[in-house]
Amino acid sequence: MLWVKAFHIVFVASWFAGLFYLPRIFVNLAMVPADSVAERERLLLMAGKLLRFTTILAVPALVLGFWLWLGYGIGKGPGNGWLHAKLTVVALVLGYHHACGVLLKKFRRGESQRGHVWFRWFNELPVLLLLAAVVLVVVKPF
């Protein structure tokens, strides 16, 4: 089970690396001048590749997490409220990941109406989600 846990941590960290950087590309896309087609296309290509790679990394992170959940039997009995909270955080991370895909589609269609400041704030959400997940798993506050 320790091997499963180790690989789960590696894939989660890799998944989050993509979720940290993808919105940063959105910040740059929001700042591209309208006449800079080549720059916009290059950033869209980078964002698309990063989203695909990040999605691929999310799959083993989730599968290994599920394996840990089944293997340890976590969540049974009292004192496991932390797990339910962590699973809520995982659902929020999946929602954030999906939102990144939706935002990229809007950029590709030229429909993004948000400014770079909004994307800078949006970029901070995965940091808070990762912090919450780590605290819940390590501290197990409830």
Write down the pLDDT at residue 44: 98
- The CA-to-CA distance between both ends of the chain, in Å, stands at 24
Count Cβ neighbours within 10 Å for each residue of 46-82 and write b for 16 or more, e otherwise: ebbebbeebeebbebbbebbebeeeeeeeeeeeeeeb
pLDDT tens per residue across span 66-101: 999 888 776 666 778 888 899 999 999 999 999 999
Write down the pLDDT at residue 74: 67
Question: Closest Cα partner for 6 from 49, 59, 65?
Answer: 65
The tens-digit pLDDT sequence of the chain (142 residues) is 899 999 999 999 999 999 999 999 999 999 999 899 999 999 999 999 999 999 999 999 999 999 998 887 766 667 788 888 999 999 999 999 999 999 999 999 999 999 999 999 999 999 999 999 999 999 999 8
Write down the pLDDT at residue 137: 92
CA dist 8 and 127 (Å) reads 18
Question: Closest Cα partner for 64 from 126, 135, 130, 1?
Answer: 1
Q: Helix, strand, coil shares of the chain as percentages rounded to 5? A: 80, 0, 20
Query: Would you give the distance in Å from CA 95 to the centre of its chain?
Result: 8
Write down the pLDDT at residue 101: 98
Write down the pLDDT at residue 79: 75
Angle at CA of residue 105, ends 100 and 108, nearest 5° = 125
